[in-house]
Amino acid sequence: MSAAATSANGDPVPPASVERILRRLFWQLLLRGRVATKDGKKPFRIGLAGMAAIYVLIGGMSALGLRNMGPLPFATMLHSMTLMFASLSLATGVGQMLFVREESEILLHRPIRPEQLLRAKVHVLVVYSVVLAMALNLISWIVATFCKGFGWRWLLAHGLSTTLLMVASAAGTVLVYQLCLRWFGRERLDNLLATMQALMAIVMAFGSQLVPRLAGNKSFAGFTEVDGLLLLAPPVWFGAFDAWLCGAMPTANALLPVALAVGVTAVVFWLAFGLLARSFGQGLMALHEGSGIEREHTADRRLGAIVNSRFLRWWMGDPVERHGFVLASAYLLRDRETKLKVLPGIAPLVCMPLLLCTGPSEAVSSGMALVAIGYLAIVPMTPMTLLQRSEQWRAAELLRAAPLPHWSPLFHGARKAVLLWLVAPSTALVLGLLWLLTGNGMVLPVGGVFAATLPLYTLLAGVFAAWLPLSQPNQAAHDMGQGCLMVILTMGTGAVFVGALAVAAHFGWFWPVAAAALAITALLHRAMLARVRSIPWPRAD
């Protein structure tokens, strides 16, 4: 037997507990992820401290509500913001850590019980969410202490209620994931995870407008009782918890919402980490089982039938281009990693035009609807950038061994998959909603002409360097500055184009200007295609 470990003074060192080791490992996994490196360069990461600093800056604007809000509405506003922003990061962390297929190759052959895995993961998730929530509330949390009606008890009350809210949020997220895995199985779970993160991204986009709107809403700033439909909103429960501990709300009025805050948290916590924890091991086994082969074959047949349709064979005459389309489509529609990147990335971009047109008056909303159309130019760029990145980027070296005269057919197939599956539905949805929300009759004509220019924005990914699908590691640091510059230029060109069409429509010259714009678009499209064909294969090193 090997000798026991000893400290510097010769005393035996007690062995670290299994759960303590697991917590340290899962904490590193949550913060660092599993990102590949290229050419020995480490990817850029802001880390937990950097993320907390960003949350502090974002949450600082909530202090504006102190001018005309009491403890109950102000605490409710803070908890609403916390639930949206911190829970989005929590949902992302749960998606990459709670059910990880690869961990079975490392952990499940060791004497580790499923309950120990779950407790270690939950500990890390709760601490992570509490840190982000405290950072988001830090400025308002401190400033409110010196305001009338809050006092020193606000520090203790808001810290306690925020921690309770994050425990409830973590428990609820874990509970949903466990139920989805138990009821729907592995294949549907992957789709539900991507859908959930996309919905959370949409909530975050709309929630970014919540604080300035609530801060200026006099009816919201003046409410002092919790009844009726307000009892259905969890942020109001925890806001009443704050107001009650501060002494700003009588016990009789606060009894029901405070009981809901504590009771619902306790029940969800027990369900997620008590009752369903016993079946966590079964869920892991179901995740790693090889079921769903027949379903994958069915999906392959459907995708093959779509590609072999008359329209797509006309649109993509090159067989290599069709194979590039199939590859990109399969990753967009079926690969969990790709969906978890693309859907949450594109969801806020689709929502922003709708937010921009919600002006204070009908005239302003109608005018902003036309300006917001130009924002759609960013939608094609995000999936094209993300489709170029993968954790298995080294496998793209196989494309060099294939007898392909040029890389452009793979690029064109991938960008046409983005146009068909993402850009076209998003554009139709946004234009339809803008027209219904504002009633501006020029939304559809202007939007239709602008939609004809969107293929140009998919070509931007290949006019500067060779573009191969899934050929770059995730989060390449040297591309971040170029990506920001491209977004600025894209938004600028989109705004100029739509603005010219709107001015022409105002003076009755819409159709001549639209015809000239479409002619220029066709010439630019042809020039960009020639530019793509002139770029050789990238060097192997």
Reported as a single tens digit per residue, the pLDDT across 436-469 is 878 888 889 999 999 999 999 999 989 988 999 9
If one counts every other C-beta atom within 10 angstroms of the C-beta of residue 312, the result is 15
Contact criterion met (CB below 8 Å) for 359 and 368: yes
Dihedral of CA atoms 20, 21, 27, 30 in degrees, nearest 10, equals: -130
Beta bridge partners of 472: 389
Query: How many Cα atoms sit within 13 Å of 278 on the Cβ side?
Result: 4
Phi, psi of 38 (to 5 degrees): -135, 135
DSSP states of 460-487 = GGGSSS---TT-B-SS-GGGHHHHHHHH
C-alpha–C-alpha distance, residues 172 and 178, integer Å? 10
Beta bridge partners of 12: 6
Q: So what's the pLDDT on residue 104?
A: 59
**DSSP code, position 109:** T
Residue 504: count of CB within 10 angstroms of its CB: 18
User: By the 8 A CB rule, do 489 and 350 touch?
Assistant: no
Task: Give the tens place of pLDDT for each residue, 54-110.
Answer: 888 878 877 776 777 788 888 888 888 888 766 666 665 665 666 665 565 566 566
pLDDT at 197: 61
**What tokens appear for 193 in the block?**
């995870």
Dihedral angle, C-alpha 263, 265, 270, 271, nearest 10 °? 110
Helix axes 234-246, 251-270, angle to 10 degrees: 130
Contact 137, 59 (CB under 8 A): yes
Query: Per the structure block, which two tokens stand in for 102?
Result: 């690869």
pTM over 0.85: no
Yes or no: say if 411 and 316 are a contact pair by the CB < 8 Å rule.
no
Positions of the chain with pLDDT lower than 50, given as ranges: 1-5, 7, 13, 34-38, 211, 215, 290-295, 364, 476-481
CA separation (Å) from 132 to 89, 93, 237, 532? 8, 12, 20, 44
Residue 94 to residue 29: CA distance in whole angstroms: 11
Beta carbons of 181 and 287 less than 8 angstroms apart: yes
Q: How far apart are the first and last CA of the chain?
A: 49
Q: Is 6 helix (H, G, I), strand (E, B) or coil?
A: strand
pLDDT of 1: 40
**Cα pseudo-dihedral 237, 238, 240, 245, rounded to 10:** 140
